[in-house]
Amino acid sequence: MQNSSEASLIGNLDRTWVSSIKQKLLLKPKILKDSSGSSSCCIHRVPQFFHQRDQMAYTPQIISIGPLHHGKTSLQAMEEHKWKYLRSVLSRAGNRRLQLYLMAVKELEESARRCYSETIDLDSNEFVEMLVVDGFFIIELICKATGLINVDGCDPIFSMRWILPKLKSDLLMLENQMPFFLLQRLFDLMRDPGHESISLAHLALEFFNNSVPKNEKTLEKITDLKGRHLLHLLHLSLLPHVGVGEEKKRDDCNPPPKMIYSASELREAGIKFKKCEEVDSFLDIKFRRRGLEIPPLSIQDCTKTLLLNLIAFEQCYGDCTACVTAYAAFMKCIVSSGKDAAILRRSRIIENWLGGDDEMAHFFNEIGREVSIVADVDGFHLGEVIRDVDRYCRSDSQAQRSRLKHKYLKDPWPILSCCLA
């Protein structure tokens, strides 16, 4: 019940204005859907403050996949290649199969729309057509690159050296994804009899193997991964064994520090840096026998784009382990200067194709900036590494002896003066 004073105040309001607000309350969100935080929603627009850091890292340069960059004028040249690849698929399967492909995707349309964090402003036919054209382009490209389908000698994607690396980079951008279950459905419908045992996930990881190299033994271990899209598939393939469904228990009584000392400081404390190659992922860092064992990483032009998109995916999609985010924060602390970068370079841990040691330090500072680690460092295996390193550095006996040894071996004059005296 309203009292007289409230009724008097309400009576002074513009009724047209109040009515317009009520109409706005009934509108469905267009930019961010209510379901954007659900586990089914796995393809997100990268937050604007990420874009401000490096616009090129999140924006496709030559091809659009899915609806978020669909129709952009700057990406139209590759649209002709998409239709060319679709014609290639139909020439082998028969034009009548097109209706089957369209119907198969139409049955999955609603599930596909739920994968995107934004409302897609395309009608049903436009949306399905886009997914079929984009999906078969990805499948045909992967099959040609991995040798499952013969490559036309006149195909510019394979004859011009610059195109394929750029395509791989674009196909691993968070805003440029399409649901993997659609790719799997189209792949199942198009593959020839006798190829039933071939895994699309395995072919995709083989296709992207240059981005993060893995040996054949490692690839065989991860053929049954169930990624929600290509970027998620690669993310799953990078998880160390400790992180795949078997994460270490958190030690809430002894949480790790939120940072680790730089490489030069750790070396003064007696910690050695070792290149660790007997692992399946560059994320699998260990601390054993006073040595920090770090798997090798080759830093190339595409490395920054890949790592930033993996981090953006972890920050937007809550149903995954933030292992790359933790790695980025860890390496930012380790490599805080060119001096630190030189230690990792001389240990052959980092293969730097970007330039000098200062450029390498800048690289790790960029990928580790403005990321939210929250509790993931503790939950992820790096929490244990940080805890053990910190415990060692605080030890008065070993660390102090190592500091003295490093100091006097580096500058022997004080100890020689003492002996002469």
Indicate the residue type of 366: E
CA dist 106 → 14, 129, 234 (Å): 47, 9, 27
pLDDT value, residue 404: 42
Q: Mean pLDDT in the chain?
A: 84
Rounded to whole angstroms, the Cα distance separating 152 from 85 reads 11
pLDDT at 144: 96
Find tokens 């998880």 and name the residue: 239
State the pLDDT at residue 260.
84
Residue with tokens 């039933």: 196
At residue 251, does pLDDT exceed 70?
no
Q: Which of 25-29, 63-67, 379-383, 402-406 has the highest mean pLDDT?
A: 63-67
Instruction: Give 97-139 pLDDT, tens digit per residue.
Output: 999 999 999 999 999 999 999 999 999 999 999 999 999 999 9
Cβ partners under 8 Å of residue 348, min gap 6: 275, 296
Q: Tens digit of pLDDT for each residue in 190-217?
A: 987 777 788 999 999 999 988 877 766 6
Percent of the chain with pLDDT over 90: 55
State the angle between helix axes of 230-238 and 180-190 in degrees (0 to 180), rounded to the nearest 10.
100
- Identify which has the larger pLDDT, 259 or 94: 94
**Reported confidence tier of residue 374, pLDDT bands at 50, 70, 90:** very low
**pLDDT at position 369:** 79
Collapsing DSSP to helix, strand or coil, 112 comes out as helix
Torsion-angle region of residue 324: left (phi > 0), alpha (psi -120 to 50) or beta? alpha
- For residues 3 and 39, the model is more confident at 39
- List the structure tokens of 277: 């190659």
> Nearest-CA neighbor of 146 among 187, 95, 178?
187
* Residue 253 binned pLDDT confidence (cut-offs 50, 70, 90): low
In this prediction the pTM is 0.86
Tokens for 139?
């499948």
For residues 203 and 207, give the distance between their C-alpha atoms in angstroms, rounded to a whole number: 6
320 compared with 398, residue with greater pLDDT: 320
pLDDT on residue 215: 64
End-to-end CA distance of the chain: 97
* pLDDT above 60: residue 250: no
With cut-offs at 50, 70 and 90, classify the pLDDT of residue 226: confident
Classify residue 291 by its DSSP letter: E
**Least confidently predicted of 134-148, 236-250, 363-377:** 236-250
| Exposed e or buried b per residue across 345-380, where buried means at least 16 C-beta atoms within 10 angstroms of its C-beta | bebebbebeeeebeebbebbebbbeebebeebbbbb
Residue 243 has pLDDT above 50, yes or no: no
